[in-house]
Amino acid sequence: MYAAYFRRHAGPEVMDTGEAPEPVVATGTVVVSVRAVALNHLDLWVRRGIPGLALDLPHIGGSDVAGVIDEVGPDADGWEVGDRVVLNPSLWCGECEWCERGEHPLCVDFRILGEHVAGGTAERVRVAARNLYRIPDDLEFRVAAAAPLAYQTAWRALKTRGGLVRGDSVLVTGASGGVSTAAIQISKLLGARVLAVTSGPENVSRVQELGADIVFDRLEADFAEGVKAHTEGRGVDLVLDSVGEATWAQCLRSLSRLGRMVTYGATTGPRGALEIRHMFWKQISVSGSTMATRSEFEAVMQHVVAGGLAPVVGDVLPLAAIREAHEALEAGRVFGKLVLEP
């Protein structure tokens, strides 16, 4: 089959296309014909090389996949050839303590499609039947593919880890990215007031169109001061951050008393200072989040299918343009999700 992959860890120049082994259906699995695959920053990190992550090379990336079932293995009950599906990229063992508690992203053997195993930047991909979610005929594959990783991550971070309730105020940093654009929509769906941080006037305009109530251009001013001004000195109830070091201090300063900060990434660096006295005096909490449980994934996908949430699709390119796609994502030229179509 035709696929996009890399043979060594380096920059976008190592991305290539060509023939790859066909996936073989097995018990409890299906093989899906890929119609659309969306890229994430995770694809960049995997390509560069994640410390401690040993891959079988060449590696096929791509976590967000939508397509049509080609083959159905034994015990993959309820599925037929021709079913339209989107894939849950979370992979869990189903047997450890955390899986038994329903906390799939905490599985001791937790993996992600396209990161730890071959993903969807190919004509076909194999996946466990439990990772399938049925999509209707009127949902475009490219839109469905733009949802899984970003929307489940944002849903768990906001609702489960952040305790978001109607009437809360939320600050979303890195607001032009996939998870952040999802977070803005989810926050509005759940009845929150949204403040967002992005860079450049074009992105500011786009984030406003997504529904953010207040948008700060981080290139223009200290957004923590802007938050204080727009909340009359109170601060926000919840901060959702993936930027890391570059925004850490401002995020903490933006919190109200009893404020909660949830981090799900560290794109500018992994270290952030925390003023402990400030933390206990304002009684704030800081927590981490990544991916989601199966039930959380299905809950947020119900809203996508019903039209309550609309994944933002930026550029759509052919799979053959994998190198250009990595270059665009790495340069920050993508708003929302970049989708490839085999």
3-state secondary structure 165-197: CCCCEEEECCCCCHHHHHHHHHHHHCCCEEEEE
Rounded to whole angstroms, what are the CA distances from 217 to 174, 201, 244? 10, 7, 17
Q: Which domains does the chain have, with CATH numbers?
A: 2-147+311-341 (3.90.180.10), 151-288 (3.40.50.720)
Strand-pair category, 193-198 with 132-134: unpaired
Query: Any residues with CB less than 8 A from the CB of 302 and at least 6 apart, and which?
Result: none
Pairwise CA distance, residues 64 & 335, whole Å:
16
The pTM of this model reads: 0.94
Give the pLDDT confidence score for residue 198 in this predicted structure: 93
Give the pLDDT confidence score for residue 274 in this predicted structure: 85
Q: Which residue ranges in the chain fall short of pLDDT 70?
A: none
- What end-to-end distance do the CA atoms of the chain give, in Å? 11
Q: Give the count of beta carbons closer than 10 Å to the beta carbon of residue 56.
A: 7
Instruction: Compute the CA torsion angle 29, 31, 37, 43 (nearest 10 deg).
Output: 60
Give the pLDDT confidence score for residue 291 in this predicted structure: 97
How far is CA 308 from its chain centroid?
18
Pairwise CA distance, residues 234 & 228, whole Å:
6
Give the pLDDT confidence score for residue 334 in this predicted structure: 86
Give the pLDDT confidence score for residue 335 in this predicted structure: 85
Pairwise CA distance, residues 122 & 131, whole Å:
18
Taking a C-beta distance cutoff of 8 angstroms, is the pair 296, 152 a contact? yes
Give the pLDDT confidence score for residue 278 in this predicted structure: 86
CA atoms lying within 13 Å on the CB side of residue 261: 27
CA atoms lying within 13 Å on the CB side of residue 237: 15
Closest listed residue to residue 192, CA positions, set 205, 174, 173, 211: 211
The number of helices, as runs of H, and strands, as runs of E, in the chain is 11, 17
Taking a C-beta distance cutoff of 8 angstroms, is the pair 123, 2 a contact? yes
Give the pLDDT confidence score for residue 141 in this predicted structure: 98
Give the pLDDT confidence score for residue 308 in this predicted structure: 95
